[in-house]
């Protein structure tokens, strides 16, 4: 059973998501929150597998709530999907940097929402190649509202793993990486998994952030 926590300041939005998710076999909504503080508190209490987190809420917003949940040692298995009205919300890259596993626009099709929840619960990042490229290109090098940490080191990675992380940063999936490097999909998946372990990345979305912050990949207008 995939346990889901809903965090959105609009009761109607929460009700719609709850009706959809509770009707799906294998998914259970374990709580609702109208702001980020309540979301972080409820997450600590219910330990959901996935949090659907509105990024713009009054008081403690979704970005800060994501920080708090990711920082909680008891919630290392909890994954966060950011909900946004706009596909290129200015806070999305920061949300990925602090630990979100991906994002969905609120008007996404129900089947895509369900697929996204299952994918993130399974440990995959929820970033389509096209959206990844546009998001990173738009916001990766912009100033942030909070100071960025020092760029993560890539020293633990082998040359092949560094190459694979760069391709993840470009938005390629495992099959596309395998084709680009002329290896099997299983080998590509192994390289991705080892890179995640070495870099302490929560999921694939974190590899995208590492790729850009470590300058393994640069936005196209800077190359």
Per-run averaged pLDDT (10 residues), the chain, 223 residues: 95 94 95 95 96 91 93 93 74 80 84 88 67 58 47 74 89 89 93 91 81 72 42
Residues 49 and 79: beta-carbon distance below 8 Å: yes
Sign of CA dihedral 61, 64, 67, 70: negative
Rounded-to-integer distance, Cα 193 and Cα 156, Å? 14
What φ, ψ does residue 76 adopt, rounded to 5°? -65, -25
Strands ordered across the beta sheet of 102-105: 27-33, 2-7, 50-54, 79-84, 102-105
**Distance separating alpha carbons of residues 223 and 221, to the nearest angstrom:** 6
Question: How big is the CA angle at 151 (ends 218 and 171), to the nearest 5 degrees?
Answer: 40
CA distance 188 to 179: 9
Contact (Cβ atoms closer than 8 angstroms) between residue 78 and residue 47:
yes
79 and 43 Cβ atoms separated by less than 8 Å: no
Burial of 67-93, coded b for 16+ CB within 10 Å and e otherwise, reads bbbbeeeebeebbbbbbbeeeebebbb
What angle (nearest 5°) sits at the alpha carbon of residue 167, between those of residues 80 and 176? 95
Q: How far apart are CA 79 and CA 121, in angstroms?
A: 7
Residue 120 and residue 101 in contact, taking contact as beta carbons nearer than 8 Å: yes
Number of helices (H) and strands (E), helices first, in the chain? 10, 5
The pairing of strands 27-33 and 2-7 is parallel
Report the predicted TM-score, pTM, of the whole model to 2 decimal places. 0.74
Token pair 């994002």 in the structure block, residue:
103
């Amino acid at each position: 059973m995939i346990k889901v926590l809903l965090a959105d300041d609009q009761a109607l939005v929460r009700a719609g998501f709850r009706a959809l998710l509770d009707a799906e076999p294998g998914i259970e909504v374990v709580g609702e929150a109208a702001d980020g503080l309540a979301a972080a508190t409820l997450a600590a209490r219910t330990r959901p597998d996935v949090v659907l987190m509105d990024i713009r809420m009054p008081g403690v917003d979704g970005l800060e709530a994501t920080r708090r949940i990711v920082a909680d040692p008891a919630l290392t298995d909890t994954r966060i999907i950011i909900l946004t009205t706009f596909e290129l919300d200015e806070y999305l890259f920061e949300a990925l940097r602090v630990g979100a596993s991906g994002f969905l626009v609120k008007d996404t099709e129900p089947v895509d929402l369900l697929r996204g929840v299952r994918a993130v619960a399974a440990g995959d990042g929820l970033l389509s190649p096209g959206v990844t490229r546009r998001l990173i290109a738009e916001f990766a090098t912009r100033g942030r509202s909070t100071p960025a940490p020092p760029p993560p080191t890539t020293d633990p990675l082998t040359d092949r793993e560094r190459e694979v992380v760069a391709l993840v940063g470009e938005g390629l999936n495992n099959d596309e990486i395998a084709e680009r490097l002329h290896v099997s999909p299983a080998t590509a998946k192994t390289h991705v998994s080892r890179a995640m372990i070495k870099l302490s990345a929560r999921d694939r979305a974190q590899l995208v952030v590492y790729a850009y912050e470590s300058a393994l990949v640069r936005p196209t207008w800077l190359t």
